[in-house]
Amino acid sequence: MSDSPLLVNPLAERMRRGGLGLNLMIRHARTVDIALAAKTCGFDGLFFDLQHGVIPEHEVSQMAVAAANMGVTPLVRVPEKDYAAALRMLDKGALGIIMPEVTTAEDARNSVAACKYPPVGNRGAFGGWAHFAYRSVPAAEARKAINDATL
């Protein structure tokens, strides 16, 4: 058994160490090579904008998986309090959600609950996670690792 973490979020790790995380906002790119370009240019994350951008979700999910495999954290801003979109993006490889129009503590609690598995939240288990290259990982371990890595 390896001592290495099951899942790593490079942006979260940098911020936990007190560092500055650099993200490249993506609103028009549509190909997975943006992940390699971001890595080469020293970005820690890609920020996909579904609220104001025009990129379809299925293309964002492809770029998110490519980014995660390059060691670049995929973040997705979803439309205002669109928990269903957040879940789809998290299920397809995103390691963080930007939830716009969160203006109250209750909004923040609801957003976190929607994006985290129990016992932290109420996100439903989906299985077949891109985060683990679709390898078989025990569900309890996978949910904990994803909770720990998700921003």
| Catalytic residue list | 52
**Distance separating alpha carbons of residues 127 and 130, to the nearest angstrom:** 9
Measure the CA–CA gap between 139 and 125, rounded to whole angstroms.
8
How far is 112 from 108, CA to CA, in rounded Å? 6
Could you give the CA distance from residue 52 to residue 50 in angstroms, rounded to a whole number?
A: 6
- Residue 74 near residue 95, CB atoms below 8 Å: yes
Q: For residue 125, what are the CA distances in angstroms to 8, 41, 44, 102, 138?
A: 19, 35, 27, 24, 12
